[in-house]
Amino acid sequence: MGNQLELLIEQQRLRVRDGISVAYRIDRLKKLRQRIAAFRPAIIAALRADLQKPEQEAYVSEIVPLLTELGHAIRKLASWAKPRRVRTPSYLPGGSSRIYYEPYGAVLILSPWNYPFTLSLWPLIGAVAAGNAVILKPSELAPASSALLRELVADVFEPGHVCVIEGDGETGAELLRHHFDYIFFTGSASTGKKVLAAASDFLTPVTLELGGKSPCLVHEDACLKTAAKRIVWGKFMNAGQTCVAPDYVLVHRSVHQALVAELKREIAEQYGAGAHRSGTTARIINRRHMERLLGYLNDGRILAGGGYDAGGLRLEPTLLEPGHLGVGVMQDEIFGPILPIWAYDDVGEAKRIVATLSYRALALYVFTQSRRLQRELLQTVPFGGGCINDTVAHTSSVYLPFGGTGTSGMGSYRGRQSFLTFSHSKSVLRQPVLLDNPLRYRPVKTWVDRFWRFL
C-alpha cells in the first residue's frame, strides 16, 4: 500500500492546493445528504449486522444526527467561509485586519465502531466543508458498516477528494506512517497516544476524541423521576457503548434508595424484562469486551439486571452497588450496560470522588435545582462538556462544540467548530502605502522613547 498511498495523499494535497470552491463543497454535502437518506435501509441493516442495534435507536443515534449536521453545514457554510473582518489597533492607522480560513490539505480520519456512521461522517462533514481532502479509515470491528461507508463515500466523492480505506489495526498503523496535514481520531486513550506520537514525526496537528469515566451527580433536591428517565436513556443506549454515557452515579445518601427504585422502574419501562433475550438492546461488540464486562459484575452487589447471554454477546441493563471505590468497575471506563451507584454525604465528598476517578472527564452530568450548586460545579470541576438535568443530549446540538480535555481528548468539533477545526486561521493586515506611523522607525528620538515608556 505504501507507494500507492503516498501517491493518493499527494493527489489529494494537490487537489486542495488547486482550490475546492465553496459552491462545490456545498454541492457535495447536498449529495451526501441525499445518499444518506437513500441509504437509510442499508444503514439500519449494517448496524443490525454489526451491533444488533434496534431500528429506532439506529435512526435516533446515527441517521437523524447526520442529516441534522449536514443541513446545518449546507445552510451556514457560505457565511463560515467568508473572511472575517476584525478590529485594527489605533497604532496601525488606516489598516484593515481580516482572518482568512484556509484548508489544511490531506486529512486522515480514524473512526470507531460504536457509532460507525455518525462518528465517521460528523468529522468528514467538517473537513469537506473547510475545503480539505479526506482519507477515512473506519473500524474493522464493524465490517458491515465499514463496507457501506466505503460504498456511500464512493457514490458521492472522487477518490482524489474523499475516499475510504478499510483494514485492521495494521492498516491504521501504515496510514500513520505517512505525512498527513491533519489527523482526527476517535477512540481509546491508549490508541490516541499512539496517534499523537505518530503525528509528532511530521508535526501534524491532531484532534483526539477519547473517553474516560463520565460522572453523573444526583443531588438531594433533584427531580428523581426525571433524573432516572434521562440517566437510563443516556446510559443504556447502544448497550452502554457510548463514550459520553454516564459511567457511574453519585447520589446524595438521603435520596439513594428512592433513586434506585426510580431507575429500576425506568429500566423496566424502557427495556422490559430480560432485555438480553428480547433484543431491545444492542449487543456487545465482541467476546473480549463481553468477558471484561462480566468480570465487573463481581465488583459489587447487583441491584437490578445482571442477566446475560454470553454466546449472543448480550448483557441486560444492570445497576450495581460497588464494594468500594477501588474495584475495577469504579477505576476503568466501563463502556457497557453496567451502572454503578455510590452514595455521598455532602458535595465536598462528591467533588473529591470525581477528582480522583474522573479528573478532566469527557462529560459531567448534574441533576439539581440549585443554581448555586450548578455554578459551583461548573466553575470547579474540569470536564469536556455535559448537561444540567440531562445526560448525553448536549452532543445533539450543532451549536455546542464537542470535545474532551486532558486524558479525555484535545480539540473539539460539531457545527461551525468543525469548520474551524479543519481550517487554518490565516491573519492578514492590509496597510495603506501613504499613511504611516513614524514612531516605529529608527533613529528613536528622546521624546518618542518617553512616549513609548509612558504607554
Model pLDDT for residues 224-274, shown as the tens digit of each residue? 999 999 999 999 999 999 999 999 999 999 999 999 999 999 999 999 988
**Where does the pLDDT of residue 453 fall: very low under 50, low under 70, confident under 90, or very high at 90 and above?**
confident
- Statement: residue 425 has pLDDT above 80: yes
Cα–Cα dist 191/435, whole Å? 55
Q: Catalogue the long-range contacts made by 13-21 (C-beta closer than 8 Å, 24 or more residues apart).
A: 13/105, 13/106, 13/133, 13/181, 15/133, 15/160, 15/161, 16/103, 16/104, 16/105, 16/106, 16/131, 16/132, 16/133, 17/105, 19/131, 20/103, 20/131, 20/133, 20/161
**Where does the pLDDT of residue 445 fall: very low under 50, low under 70, confident under 90, or very high at 90 and above?**
confident
Domain 215-396, what architecture?
A: 3-Layer(aba) Sandwich (3.40)
* Stretch 151-157: mean pLDDT: 98
**Where does the pLDDT of residue 275 fall: very low under 50, low under 70, confident under 90, or very high at 90 and above?**
confident
Cα–Cα dist 102/393, whole Å? 32
Domain spanning 1-210+414-429: CATH 3.40.605.10: yes
- Statement: residue 448 has pLDDT above 90: no
Please, what is the average pLDDT of the chain? 96
DSSP state, residue 268 = H
Ranges of CATH 3.40.309.10 domains, the chain: 215-396
Instruction: Quote the pTM value.
Output: 0.95
* Stretch 80-98: mean pLDDT: 95
* Cis, bond preceding 337 (omega within 30 deg of 0): no
**Where does the pLDDT of residue 298 fall: very low under 50, low under 70, confident under 90, or very high at 90 and above?**
very high
Q: What is the pLDDT of residue 2?
A: 73
User: Which residues are tagged catalytic?
Assistant: 209, 243
- Statement: residue 1 has pLDDT above 70: no
Query: Among the residues of 19-142, which ranges form H helices?
Result: 22-38, 40-51, 55-58, 64-81, 118-129
Q: What is the pLDDT of residue 276?
A: 86
Contact call for residues 383 and 360 (beta carbons, < 8 A)? yes
Q: What is the pLDDT of residue 188?
A: 94
Cα–Cα dist 221/231, whole Å? 16
Q: What is the pLDDT of residue 455?
A: 65
**Where does the pLDDT of residue 381 fall: very low under 50, low under 70, confident under 90, or very high at 90 and above?**
very high
List 209's β-bridge partners, or say none.
186, 409
Other Cβ atoms less than 10 A from the Cβ of 145: the count is 27
Q: What is the pLDDT of residue 443?
A: 80
Q: What is the pLDDT of residue 436?
A: 82
Grid coordinates representing 432 are 495603506
* Stretch 99-116: mean pLDDT: 98
419 or 280, which is more confident: 419
Distance of CA 121 to the CA centre of its chain: 12
DSSP state, residue 379 = H
Contact call for residues 390 and 371 (beta carbons, < 8 A)? no
Ranges of CATH 3.40.605.10 domains, the chain: 1-210+414-429
- Statement: residue 446 has pLDDT above 80: no
